[in-house]
Amino acid sequence: MNLKKVFCVNCKKAIYRSKGRINENLKFGYKFYCSRKCLSFKKTKQKWFICENCGKSFRREPSQTSPHNYCSKSCAAKINNKKYQKRKTEFKICIKCGKKFKRSIGNLKYCSVKCRRETEQKSVQEILEIIKLKARGLKRTPAKRELEKINDACIKIFGSWNNAIAAAGLHPHRSHSQRMYKRINTKALDGHLCDSVSEAIVDNWLTKNKIPHKRNVFYPNTNYKADWEIKCGKNNTMVEYFGLAKDSPRYDRTIREKKALCRKYEISLIAIYPWDLYPKNRLNKKLRNILKK
């Protein structure tokens, strides 16, 4: 067989190939390699790097590189341990059980989560006093969102938030299972019957700001009712409290239909949502356009 001498593209080693093989490579633009190892080495995208710790050369994919490159985890650990020393620790005494424990420097008072819970957990009487105090300040039964800090404690001790309200001698609001099915009316300051304490908050705000308003007014040519209708000059404005928004598909569909009616009949609509009332009341900002009129 007539062989000709060519050179490996990678290692430059002399190799011998037949005339037919050489012509084929030249025709299709193929390169010559002495072995599969040279072929793999030449086609890989890996690049050479020098370890910052030991100076050893190593290869790595471009996606695996970083500002600091090390040949191994041990080399990386040696450098990082020098740069970032461990936090200093000290011994402390648990204020609950008196046990001596070792922790990083910080404002830690307890040796375990159990000791912290037993110390900071509020008693039944303390929870009831918090609820009663809040109710006296609001002059109504507080909503669950207004006392978020004791929600978990109420559920753990009494079984539910409404059970805790009842234990405090107050009238509980509707539970999750009662929404959209049963309604417990709450009387506002002006005597209007509201479907929830949240609606009573909005109604009381309108009363305190001396804004004339009507309850449960029908939309034109439909059986839908708006929570409030407010007279603003020649045109009236509908005010809605969408308390179950993003909580019930049927309720969300009703919201969309009411908004469509307002666009159709060119009615001004002010939509109020739970996040406009809790945890901070933002009605002054939400209804400020009405105050200007």
- In tens, the pLDDT along 134-157 reads 888 888 888 777 788 888 888 888
- In tens, the pLDDT along 182-230 reads 455 788 889 998 888 889 999 999 999 989 999 999 999 899 999 999 9
Question: What is the pLDDT, as a whole number, of residue 178?
Answer: 46
Q: How many CA atoms lie within 13 A of 288 on its CB side?
A: 4
Task: Name the pTM for this structure.
Answer: 0.44
Beta-strand relationship, 100-104 and 186-187: unpaired
**Under 8 Å between Cβ of 228 and 213:** yes
Question: What is the pLDDT, as a whole number, of residue 291?
Answer: 67
At residue 172 the predicted structure's pLDDT band, cuts being 50, 70 and 90, is: confident
DSSP secondary structure, 229-286, as one string: EEEETTEEEEEEE-TTTTT-HHHHHHHHHHHHHHHHTT-EEEEE-GGGTSSS--HHHH
DSSP state of 159: S
Coil, strand, or helix at residue 143?
coil
